[in-house]
Amino acid sequence: MSKPVVIVVMDGIGYNDTDNLNAVKHAYKPTLDALWSTCPHTRIKASGVAVGLPSDADMGNSEVGHNAIGCGQIYSQGAKLVNESIESGEIYQSKAWKDAVAYCKDHTLHFLGLLSDGNVHSNISHLIAMVKQAKAEGIHHVRVHILLDGRDTPETSALIYVDQLEDALKSLNDDTFDGKIASGGGRMVITMDRYEADWGMVEKGWQTHVCGEGRQFESAKEAIETYRNEGGFVDQYLPPFVIAENGQPVGTINDGDSVILFNFRGDRAIEISKAFDDPNFNAFVKTKNPKVYYCGMLQYDGDAKIPTNFLVEPPKIKDTLSQLLVENHVKSYAISETQKFGHVTYFWNGNRSEKFDENLEDWVEIPSDLVPFDQRPWMKSAEITDQLVEAIESGKYQFLRTNFPNGDMVGHTGDYEATIIGVESVDLCLKRIKDACDKAGAVLLITADHGNADEMAEKRKKDTDPIKPKTSHTLSLVPFIVYNGGNVELKDVEDGTFGLSNIAATIVDLLGIKPYDSWNETMIKH
């Protein structure tokens, strides 16, 4: 047998030569620095067309990144997939769109989602296109429930998107059509929880969007400006709000209405989809449970069929790394904490919730803490490492993978000092994993799925401009390092020649397994 292979995905730790509060550059990380200076290494693409997004101006994210690593190929993803469907008109020919329009013909069509052009969870252009189409097809009443971003966009950019949406609605409103913003709140406060870490967020969203319960304002702009003045809230943490006229909410969700969740990314769409779509839902008690037609932009979980109805068919990902390993009887191990557990399992396996083989695949989830990540930037790195080291030293596995979320989840808070601690926490863990690989004779691969911690401040036009925290991902290349690979050399290429989709072939090359013909090439020189 070949040496076992261990891969560590340092989430959000890009390698960026510039210094806009570069927490990766300034963190004390002796292990990572030593590996970079002494081992075969390169920097690879983790954004744009290299991960299936529309253009190289589009930031990568954890979902498409793990898809690319785990399937060895590039598929149209997220925004690109939806763009193609809207441009062709195929989305409006889908059964879900036709059923949603027919169901609410004499009632209200509701749109719910992240109001952003970040192209990670959603894009405001998709929403506006669908609202225009709804009017063209005879819908008279549209209500929009907006979740504010500030993670994949500048932290206080919400009013840009509110104004854009309000202008679009104003241009459409007439005697036959009435479109309004109905409710909203920050994405880290309501509705967009993931991996069932905090169902209370979803319940709060239900009360806000469906029931119209909460603090009332005359407009979304008034709500945002009031909360900022009162509490200094940035967009992602803005408290929920309800738009009202004469003391009555303008857009509660009622029997006979249709609801479209216009987010295309799955992880933060699944729980609210369950609340609307699961007849046996019991995660919280609904004080109001209207009979509606519900659909998502995509089917966010293909195995669990969540939601039942969806507008755009997801990419048909086949020939994944896990599938090939099972075919070759390789026993594998995957571990992360709750925040990224789905990334080393579901997304890694090509949007598949189930294992290919229960006997050959072991998955371990470490429950994440329910505290703001900047308050505990080490997160569960030590606990992940404890169990990963034990698995490496057990000798049971030929392939092991993990994700350390720190660089991404702490990076999204915009707290530079906390993010440095997060990066340093990962480095401490790398030392222990490296030592375990030495003991077990394993090859260690180190990479990242996208950048984030490498750029914690927005670029300033002038040196005298104030520093504004940057909470979004970056377009940076990410490291790829091979440790303990014997005589392994990487191909002589410039940084950025390869991308995340080249990792799968590199892994099986090290394991002595022939890759699928559909995969992108290995990075190892022969």
Amino acid at 139: I
Q: How far is CA 326 from CA 6, 72, 323, 358, 398, in A?
A: 16, 16, 5, 10, 11
Question: Is residue 400 a contact partner of residue 391, using CB atoms and an 8 Å limit?
Answer: yes
Closest to 209 measured CA to CA, from 243, 253, 171, 271:
253
Gap between the Cα atoms of 495 and 493, Å rounded: 7
Q: How far apart are CA 140 and CA 155, in angstroms?
A: 34
Joined together, the tokens standing for residue 448 give: 């990242």
Does the pTM surpass 0.85? The reply is no
Q: Which residues pair with 114 in a beta bridge?
A: 147
| Range(s) of the chain covered by CATH 3.40.720.10 | 5-76+316-511
Query: Which CATH class for the 79-296 domain?
Result: alpha beta
- Half-sphere exposure (CA, 13 Å, Cβ side) for 59? 24
Six-digit token string for 484: 């303990």
Kindly give the pairing relationship between strand 332-337 and strand 361-366. parallel
End-to-end CA distance of the chain: 19
- According to the model, what pLDDT value does residue 500 have? 98
H helices, E strands: number in the chain: 16, 15
**Nearest-angstrom CA–CA distance, 519 and 506:** 10
Contact between residue 422 and residue 411 where contact means Cβ atoms under 8 Å apart: yes
pLDDT of residue 459: 84
Q: Residue 434 and residue 422: Cα distance in Å, rounded?
A: 19
Tokens of 400: 């092991």
Q: Is the peptide bond before 314 cis (omega within 30 degrees of 0)?
A: no
Report the pLDDT value the prediction gives residue 465, as an integer from 0 to 100.
Answer: 83
Q: What is the Cα Rg of the chain in Å?
A: 23
pLDDT at 1: 56
User: Under CATH, which number does the domain 5-76+316-511 receive?
Assistant: 3.40.720.10
Strands 478-483 and 443-447 turn out to be antiparallel
pLDDT of residue 36: 98
Q: Where are the alpha helices (DSSP H) in 182-335?
A: 199-209, 220-231, 270-277, 321-327
pLDDT of residue 303: 56
Looking at residue 302, its pLDDT comes to 63
Buried b (16+ CB within 10 A) or exposed e, 273-297: bbbbbeeeeeeeeeeeeeebbbbbb
- Give pLDDT, residue 342: 93
How far is the CA of 417 from the CAs of 382, 410, 423, in angstroms?
19, 10, 10
**CA–CA gap between residue 13 and residue 288 (Å, rounded):** 43
Tally of CA atoms within 13 A in the half-sphere of 30 that contains its CB: 3
Give per-10-residue mean pLDDT for the chain (526 aa): 92 95 98 98 96 87 94 90 95 98 97 95 97 98 98 95 98 98 98 92 98 98 98 97 98 98 91 96 97 95 83 88 98 97 94 94 97 96 98 98 97 96 98 98 98 92 84 94 94 96 98 97 97
Distance of CA 163 to the CA centre of its chain: 25
* 353 given a catalytic annotation: no
| H/E run at residue 248 | strand 248-249
Beta strands in 269-353 (DSSP E): 293-296, 332-337
Catalytic residue among 62, 322, 472, 476: 62
- pLDDT tens string 226-238: 999 999 999 999 9
Between 30-38 and 416-440, two packed helices, what is the crossing angle to 10 degrees? 60
Alpha helices in 22-94 (DSSP H): 23-26, 30-38, 62-71, 78-88
User: Any alpha helices (H) in 89-198, and if so which ranges?
Assistant: 95-103, 124-136, 158-172
